């Protein structure tokens, strides 16, 4: 039977097929719209969640998470052992504090040693300067001035107020019979009868002269000869011998 487009049954069948196709298409479209709306909603929810992490380093967060998983403290806290965590922290703080205190103590000790060293050098220099000035003022021969300083340096010191004082073997400040301070000038003056060879009393007397001083005068004469020859090595050697001899006599 030939196909007749105008046949009522044919038209009805075509219409039915068309309506079914449209309905199916509409249904598919509706499903796509719903799916699209769902995706948009999920995207918005994800974006809202990500806002909480704005400015945060994701890598750092992951590292922190890993640290918490492996950290001894985190594991102890998770196990309810908070007291143990606190004790461990206090122990670390105690060790750190003791280390710091030890370091500060050592620094303070070093600073005190350096201060004392500087103080001793300053006092020695001041005493030496005062004895040298006193010897020069008393007209001690130049080559004997170092010997005068050697004799007096051990008994003179600088007081707290900066005054140069002389102390005895017990550390007590020495005074003259009339209660005056024992100055470097007085010390040098009292050397005249003990060591007259420190002064040239007359032409040709020389350093040491012939004053019956025995072995010490002999050393003094040799010291003068060494000084005249500008042989400071020999001069210092003799001066050391002279100092040892005097120490043995005391």
SS3 181: strand
Rounded CA-CA distance 36/38 in Å is 5
215 located within any domain: yes
- Number of domains making up the chain: 1
207 located within any domain: yes
154 located within any domain: no
- pLDDT tens digits, the chain, 250 residues: what are they? 555 666 777 767 767 777 776 666 666 556 666 766 777 787 777 777 666 666 667 677 767 666 666 677 777 777 888 788 788 888 888 888 888 888 888 888 888 888 777 777 888 888 889 999 999 999 999 988 999 998 888 888 888 888 888 888 888 888 888 888 888 999 999 898 888 888 875 444 444 444 444 566 677 777 767 666 666 677 778 878 878 887 776 6
- Global pTM reads 0.41
218 located within any domain: yes
Q: Show the domain range for 230.
A: 192-250
Structure tokens at 209: 């002269």
| DSSP of 219-244 | HHHHHHHHHHTT-HHHHHHHHHHHHH
200 located within any domain: yes
């Amino acid at each position: 039977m030939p196909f007749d487009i105008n046949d009522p049954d044919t038209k009805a069948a075509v219409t039915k097929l068309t309506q079914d196709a449209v309905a199916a298409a509409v249904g598919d479209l509706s499903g796509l719209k719903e799916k699209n709306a769902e995706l948009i909603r999920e995207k918005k929810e994800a974006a809202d969640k990500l806002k909480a992490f704005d400015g945060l380093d994701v890598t750092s967060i992951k590292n922190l998470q890993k640290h918490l998983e492996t950290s001894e403290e985190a594991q102890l806290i998770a196990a309810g052992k908070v007291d143990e965590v606190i004790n461990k922290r206090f122990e670390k703080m105690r060790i750190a504090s003791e280390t710091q205190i030890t370091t500060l103590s050592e620094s303070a000790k070093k600073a005190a040693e350096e201060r004392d060293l500087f103080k001793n050098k300053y006092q020695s220099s001041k005493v030496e300067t005062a004895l040298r000035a006193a010897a020069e003022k008393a007209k001690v021969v130049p080559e004997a001035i170092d010997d005068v300083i050697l004799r007096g340096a051990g008994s003179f010191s600088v007081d707290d107020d900066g005054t140069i004082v002389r102390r005895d073997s017990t550390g007590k400040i020495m005074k003259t019979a009339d209660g005056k301070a024992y100055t470097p000038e007085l010390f040098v003056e009292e050397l005249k009868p003990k060591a007259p060879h420190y002064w040239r009393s007359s032409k040709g007397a020389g350093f040491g002269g012939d004053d019956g001083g025995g072995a010490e005068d002999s050393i003094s004469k040799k010291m003068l000869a060494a000084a005249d020859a500008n042989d400071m090595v020999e001069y210092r050697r003799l001066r050391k011998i002279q100092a040892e001899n005097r120490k043995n006599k005391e």
